[in-house]
Structure 1
Amino acid sequence: MSSARVWFITGTSSGFGLQMARCALAHGDRVVATLRKPEVLSDFASKYTPEQLLVTRLDVTKPDEIKAAFAKAKEVFGRVDVVFNNAGYTLTGEAEGVPDDVARDLFEVDFWGAAHVSQEAVRFFRDENKPQGGRLIQNSAAVGLIATPMMGFYCSAKHALEGFTDTLSKEIDPSWNIKISSVLPGGFVTELIQKFQMMPQHPAYVGETNPAGIFRKFFGEGRDKDIMMSRWSDPEKGVQKIYELSQLPSPPLRLLLGKDCNAYIAEYLEQVTREVKEYASWSDDLQFAGN
């Protein structure tokens, strides 16, 4: 156990968070599993010893709880080697149809919560770990680089997280021995299939040819789980790839995870490349001429 790494994982009640905890423990590492309701993991926790697993409360929208959870991790295990920043949820609805308070609540978790965990992770890796260093892995999404109908605010939160993560990776001193990566999963068969928070339909977007309406029909009450399972990826296999990412000496800034994600982003990059080539000349005569 002395050579085992310590994982700090947010949002372990289900989905990628719980699967990542299982994966790390199966590899002989130790895990700090954090979530808003620790009692949810009672059965899971009973399978492991206190030397292997610490389950502790953390609501990522509360900075004091973030600091307390990291402090508890140090108290129990002495350090944190890998932070898997996973807590979040999905909100769907036309951009015109999502109330401000609902959208702001999403940002509090998916962006601000992730940003505050990231800040504390970097501080902890630098100031608390002996020897210095650690790995921060953001669980972002394919829509952090691309966009899809009905997910405007979720896409925006993930875009913001991508910008924050990219900036943070450029600011840290190489001597701190901190590695930062962002994982961008495509579709994975997790509890997400049944947990889309979908807002009521905006009346202007009703219609069989409306892109938002088509998306709503597929992911609404009539969604076909079997179709999704045939097209989407296996989260158990996905977290194994994330575990392998955590072991790379020079990890990429971004890991695109899933064939669908790679295809969508390849198409997006082709579009951007075409637009750059077609309109680059518009910038030729923009030099500042002075007074």
Structure 2
Amino acid sequence: MSSFTPKVWLITGTSAGLGRAVAEIALEKGDIVVATARRPSSLDDLAHRYPKDRILILSLDVTQPDQVANAFAEATRVFGRIDVVLNNAGFGHGAELEAMEEDKARAILETNFWGAVNVTKESLRCFRETNPPGVGGRLLQMSSYAGLVGLPALSFYSASKFALIGASETLAAELDPAWNIKVTIIEPGWIRSEWASKSTWSPEHPAYKNSNVPTARIRSAGWDKLATWKDSRRSAEAFYRIASVPNPPLHFLVGKDAIEATRKKIAALSTDIDAYEMWSEGLEE
């Protein structure tokens, strides 16, 4: 007899991309998935492929706290618990910082940061108060290496991911170990998905038209020419596996591009610290 106990996953942003890929892998592995999306009809094929005791599809806009609370309530009503939350919903938009329209910049922060915060709060409540005491759960926060290293043309996307990393690091330090809630921040590099083909841009700022300016080169070549892309399926498998690591890392970088860029930032930061460390001497009262 098999001793396998399926995990119950709640995944946001499953209409396409990495959220969809992780949902498919979890289902293939025998787990249960609560798949949420603004367009639930995009998941009709999964609903036809798997029985209702394996998948629950819900409409969800993560920027609406009441919708987030209702989604968690319905998930626990149907399945009794949630073991893993993949906080994945988000989007990007290209522009020089000076060219980004304020309404678009705010929309990015509203979804990628505040929407993720809404999901985080409900995840914690569910892990602590709905699941049996001490069982806890896994919270996977989908950030990006753009949340560790600022990328030209993605200033507000990077800002949203920097903010999510900062909030998640602080959260991990605040949690009572007795709750057994594990937080992992996923920080992938460039992964092949619908992101590049569907990415949008604001009109170019006239001061940045010089072809030597990084954003001008990106606009001209496109993301496809400037990034080293990784397979979305294999990347999603890594995200799936990290949810089962007994003592998971707080930071989980995925892709050699993400690792290399982060190491370069660490080295540059160390150089700056060493160069100006003496300026901090004698500041203590």
Shorter-chain TM-score category?
over 0.9
CA–CA distance in structure 2, aligned partners of residues 208 and 2 of structure 1: 57
Count of aligned pairs: 282
CA–CA distance in structure 1, aligned partners of residues 218 and 172 of structure 2: 34
Helix, strand or coil: the match of 2:192? coil
Aligned residue number for residue 234 of structure 1: 231
1:46 alignment partner, one of 45, 48, 51: 48
Residue 115 of structure 1 aligns with an amino acid whose one-letter code is V
Aligned residue number for residue 174 of structure 1: 177
Aligned residue number for residue 189 of structure 1: 192
Aligned residue number for residue 143 of structure 1: 146
1:71 alignment partner, one of 60, 70, 73: 73
CA–CA distance in structure 1, aligned partners of residues 106 and 256 of structure 2: 31
1:228 shift after superposition = 6.5
Unmatched runs of 5 consecutive residues or more in structure 1: none
Residues 188-238 of structure 1: per-residue CA shift (max 9 Å, x gap):
00001111121110001001111121122222xxx6x4x568x21111101
1:2 shift after superposition = 7.6
1:44 shift after superposition = 2.3
Residue 247 of structure 2 aligns with an amino acid whose one-letter code is S
CA–CA distance in structure 2, aligned partners of residues 2 and 78 of structure 1: 18
Residue 233 of structure 1 aligns with an amino acid whose one-letter code is K
* Contact 1:185–1:256 under 8 Å retained in 2: yes
CA–CA distance in structure 1, aligned partners of residues 215 and 30 of structure 2: 45
1:262 shift after superposition = 0.5
Aligned residue number for residue 247 of structure 2: 250
2:28 alignment partner, one of 26, 29, 44: 26
**4+ residue runs over 4 A deviation:** none
Helix, strand or coil: the match of 1:147? coil
Aligned residue number for residue 267 of structure 2: 270
Residue 186 of structure 2 aligns with an amino acid whose one-letter code is V
1:37 shift after superposition = 1.4
Residues 9-49 of structure 1: per-residue CA shift (max 9 Å, x gap):
00000000000000111111000000011111112221000
Tell me the TM-score normalized by structure 2. Answer: 0.96
CA–CA distance in structure 2, aligned partners of residues 84 and 145 of structure 1: 19
* Contact 1:6–1:32 under 8 Å retained in 2: yes
1:283 alignment partner, one of 275, 280, 283: 280
CA–CA distance in structure 2, aligned partners of residues 197 and 251 of structure 1: 35
Q: Does 1:202 align with 2:215?
A: no
CA–CA distance in structure 1, aligned partners of residues 46 and 226 of structure 2: 27
* Contact 2:218–2:226 under 8 Å retained in 1: no
Aligned residue number for residue 100 of structure 2: 98
Tell me the TM-score normalized by structure 1. Answer: 0.94
Residue 171 of structure 1 aligns with an amino acid whose one-letter code is E
* Contact 2:10–2:85 under 8 Å retained in 1: yes
CA–CA distance in structure 2, aligned partners of residues 193 and 7 of structure 1: 27
Helix, strand or coil: the match of 1:74? helix
Q: Does 1:157 align with 2:154?
A: no
* Contact 1:189–1:228 under 8 Å retained in 2: no
Helix, strand or coil: the match of 2:85? strand
Helix, strand or coil: the match of 1:137? strand
Aligned residue number for residue 35 of structure 1: 37
Q: Does 1:212 align with 2:215?
A: yes
Helix, strand or coil: the match of 2:195? helix
Unmatched runs of 5 consecutive residues or more in structure 2: none
CA 1:54–1:228 in 2, change beyond 3 Å: closer, same or farther? farther
CA–CA distance in structure 2, aligned partners of residues 133 and 6 of structure 1: 12
2:5 alignment partner, one of 3, 6, 13: 3
* Contact 1:93–1:200 under 8 Å retained in 2: yes
Aligned residue number for residue 120 of structure 1: 122
CA–CA distance in structure 2, aligned partners of residues 21 and 277 of structure 1: 45
